[in-house]
C-alpha cells in the first residue's frame, strides 16, 4: 500500500474492500476512476453508489494533512471527523486521493453478527487470519495467566481455549477468552465466552456471546427455543445469537432463549423467552 501511495504521488491513499451492496451503507463509500483516483467519498450513504468501502486505513502526506487539520479547527460546525469533514474537503480541493484495494482478510465488527462471524472465522481450517503466523505477531496486553487446563473427561472440538481456562465439560466450535471456567457436564457450542466467565455444572450454552465476568449457574440453558426476533432491537438481534452483557449473574436452572439481549450488571433468576430484552434489572 505504501509503494502504491508513492507510485501515485498521492496526498492520501485509502485502503478499501468490496462489500455486498446491502452492507455498503454502514461504511464510507468511494467512487473512483479507472486509475483508482477517488472521485467521490460518502460517509455511510443511505443509497450507496458503489461497494468500495473504506477500511479506515489511510496513508497521508503529513504536511498537507496537518494543514487541513489546523484549518478544520476554525470551521464552524465541523464534526472534526475524517470521513465527514477532512476527506470531503480534500476531495473538493482536488487533492490527489487514491483508493487501494486490500485483498487480505478483514472484518468489520460493528454489528453483533459480524463480531460473531469474525470469531468463528478463527476456527476455520486453515483460518483466513492465522493467529500462529510468526511473521505477524500479536501485540496486546498479556493477562499473565497459567496455561489452560482440560480435564480427561472433557471433549474439545474445533475451538480456541486461551490461557487461564479450566475446562471440565465439553466445548465445540467456540472461542473462550482467558480465565473462563466450564463446569462438569456443561456444553459450550457455537459460542463466544469473554474473559473470566464462570459456567456451573450441567449447563448448555449455544449460539451465544457471554460477557466478561458473567457467572452462569448450574443446570442452565442459554440459546434455545424459537427464533423470535428481539422486540427491543429487531435490526440487531435477529440471527439467533443471544448476548449477555458484562457482570451478569444467571441463577441456577434459568432458561434463556434465542435473540435475547441482557444488559450489563443484571442478576436474573427467571426464564427469559426468545426475543426478550432485560435492561438494568427492569423487565421490559
Q: What is the pLDDT along the chain (284 residues), one digit of tens a residue?
A: 999 999 999 999 999 999 988 888 888 899 999 999 999 988 888 888 999 999 989 999 999 999 999 999 988 888 888 878 898 899 999 999 999 999 888 888 888 999 999 999 999 988 888 888 888 887 888 888 999 999 999 999 999 999 999 999 999 999 999 999 999 999 999 999 999 999 999 999 999 999 999 999 999 999 999 989 999 998 889 899 999 999 999 999 999 999 999 998 887 788 999 999 998 654 44
The answer to whether residues 41 and 163 belong to one domain is no
Distance CA 198, CA 183 (A): 8
The answer to whether residues 69 and 184 belong to one domain is no
pTM assigned to the model: 0.83
Print the domain residue range for 65: 2-101
Q: Taking the chain, what is the end-to-end CA distance rounded to the nearest angstrom? A: 49
Please say which residue of 78, 101, 124 terminates a domain. 101
Please say which residue of 82, 101, 120 terminates a domain. 101
H helix or E strand, kind and range, residue 87? helix 87-92
133 located within any domain: no
Q: CB neighbours (10 Å) of residue 184?
A: 14
pLDDT score of 258: 96
pLDDT score of 22: 86
The answer to whether residues 177 and 68 belong to one domain is no
The CATH number for 258's domain is 2.160.10.10
The answer to whether residues 156 and 92 belong to one domain is no
The answer to whether residues 163 and 275 belong to one domain is yes
pLDDT score of 250: 94
Burial 15-52 (b: 16+ CB within 10 A, else e): bbbebeeeebeebbbbebeeebebeebbbeeeebebbb
127 located within any domain: no
C-alpha cell at 243: 448476548
Burial 141-154 (b: 16+ CB within 10 A, else e): eeeeeeebebeeeb
pLDDT score of 130: 85
Indicate the DSSP class of residue 187.
E
Amino acid at each position: 500500500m505504501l509503494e502504491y501511495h508513492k507510485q501515485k504521488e498521492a496526498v492520501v491513499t485509502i485502503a478499501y474492500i468490496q462489500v455486498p451492496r446491502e452492507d455498503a451503507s454502514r461504511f464510507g463509500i468511494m467512487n473512483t476512476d479507472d486509475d483508482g483516483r477517488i472521485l467521490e467519498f460518502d460517509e455511510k450513504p443511505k443509497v450507496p453508489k458503489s461497494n468500495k468501502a473504506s477500511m479506515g486505513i489511510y496513508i497521508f502526506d503529513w504536511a498537507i494533512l496537518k494543514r487541513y487539520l489546523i484549518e478544520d479547527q476554525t470551521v464552524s460546525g465541523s464534526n472534526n471527523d475524517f470521513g465527514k469533514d477532512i476527506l470531503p474537503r480534500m476531495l473538493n480541493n482536488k487533492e490527489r486521493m487514491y483508493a487501494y484495494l486490500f485483498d487480505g482478510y478483514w472484518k468489520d465488527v460493528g454489528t453483533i453478527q459480524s463480531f460473531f462471524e469474525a470469531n468463528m472465522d478463527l476456527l476455520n481450517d486453515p483460518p483466513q487470519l492465522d493467529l500462529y503466523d510468526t511473521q505477524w505477531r500479536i501485540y496486546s496486553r498479556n493477562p499473565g495467566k497459567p496455561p489452560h487446563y482440560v480435564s480427561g473427561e472433557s471433549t474439545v472440538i474445533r475451538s480456541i481455549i486461551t490461557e487461564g481456562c479450566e475446562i471440565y465439560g465439553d466445548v465445540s466450535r467456540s472461542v473462550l477468552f482467558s480465565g473462563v471456567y466450564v463446569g462438569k457436564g456443561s456444553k459450550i457450542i457455537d459460542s463466544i465466552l469473554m474473559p473470566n466467565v464462570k459456567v456451573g455444572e450441567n449447563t448448555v450454552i449455544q449460539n451465544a456471546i457471554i460477557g466478561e465476568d458473567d457467572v452462569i449457574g448450574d443446570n442452565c440453558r442459554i440459546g434455545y427455543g424459537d427464533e423470535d426476533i428481539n422486540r427491543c432491537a429487531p435490526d440487531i438481534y435477529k440471527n439467533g445469537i443471544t448476548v449477555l452483557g458484562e457482570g451478569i449473574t444467571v441463577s441456577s436452572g434459568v432458561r434463556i432463549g434465542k435473540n435475547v439481549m441482557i444488559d450489563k450488571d443484571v442478576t436474573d433468576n427467571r426464564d427469559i423467552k426468545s426475543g426478550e430484552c432485560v435492561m438494568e434489572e427492569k423487565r421490559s
